């Protein structure tokens, strides 16, 4: 288990959610924030959801 660098909650980086929001969050972690594997599923989801709302690159 790893402690999330954002909220401090421990999580399993092998078991991240598969929702579209989480996928965008993972992409951002890889390409923008460079913290993949250190942020929990819930934080990835909120990051992904914000990006989908405010970042044209991720709008569908």
Length of the chain: 60
- In angstroms, rounded to a whole number, what is the distance separating the alpha carbons of residues 56 and 3? 30
Q: How far is the CB of 23 from Zn ion (least distance, A)?
A: 16
Q: How far is the CB of 56 from Zn ion (least distance, A)?
A: 25
Tokens matching residue 12: 């399993």
- In angstroms, rounded to a whole number, what is the distance separating the alpha carbons of residues 10 and 13? 9
What part of residues 1-40 is at the interface with Zn ion (CB under 5 A)?
4, 6-7, 40
Judged by CB under 5 A, the residue of 43, 45, 48, 51 near Zn ion is: 43
Which residues would be at the binding site for Zn ion (CB under 5 A)?
4, 6-7, 40, 43
């Amino acid at each position: 288990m790893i402690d999330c660098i954002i909220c401090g909650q421990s999580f399993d980086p092998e078991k991240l959610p598969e929702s579209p929001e989480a996928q965008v969050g993972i992409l951002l972690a890889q390409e923008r924030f460079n913290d993949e594997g250190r942020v929990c599923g819930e934080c990835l989801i909120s990051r992904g959801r914000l990006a989908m709302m405010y970042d044209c690159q991720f709008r569908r």
